Amino acid sequence: MVLLFMALGSLAAAFWAFSPEESYTPVSGELGSGENSRSSLITLDGRITRAENTRSGGNLILNLDSTAMPVFIPASSGAKELSAQLQKDTRVRITGTINSYQGKDELKVSRKADVQLLEG
């Protein structure tokens, strides 16, 4: 009986931790576990569905068709230079780290070179 409750508790924890509400599809990289998982690099491929400059700070936020997780490009990582190239329907490959902003995960780009334009 105790083992049954332990198994159910593990399943409930796994469901909560891996719920599809905040899903994304990494192309490469592995998240691992624990605190270090937030600093692991992942790469996403996709088509831009929305590109928006932030109201202040000169940052850029992208949404891709391949993930529900937004992509954050800080001004210090070339957001201003990239914003002219990163328009809706542009195919991109973006590498960054997963950070939390206001309780939601986002992919944060650290260098302009981590954003590649793809053909097609």
Residue 75 is classified by DSSP as: G
Number of domains in the chain: 1
Average pLDDT, the chain: 80
Question: pLDDT tens for residues 48-104?
Answer: 999 999 999 999 999 999 999 999 999 999 999 999 999 999 999 999 999 999 999
- Return the SS3 of 79: helix
Answer yes or no: is pLDDT of 112 > 80: yes
E strand map for 33-114: 41-53, 60-64, 71-73, 91-101, 104-108
Res 32 pLDDT > 50: no
Nearest to 41 by CA among 92, 101, 114: 114
How many whole angstroms separate alpha carbon 113 and alpha carbon 56?
23
Residue 81 resides in a domain: yes
Residues 90-104 pLDDT 10s: 999 999 999 999 999
Which domain range does residue 37 map to?
22-118
Q: Which residue has the higher pLDDT, 52 or 40?
A: 52
The CATH number that applies at residue 35 is 2.40.50.140
**Is residue 55 domain-resident?**
yes
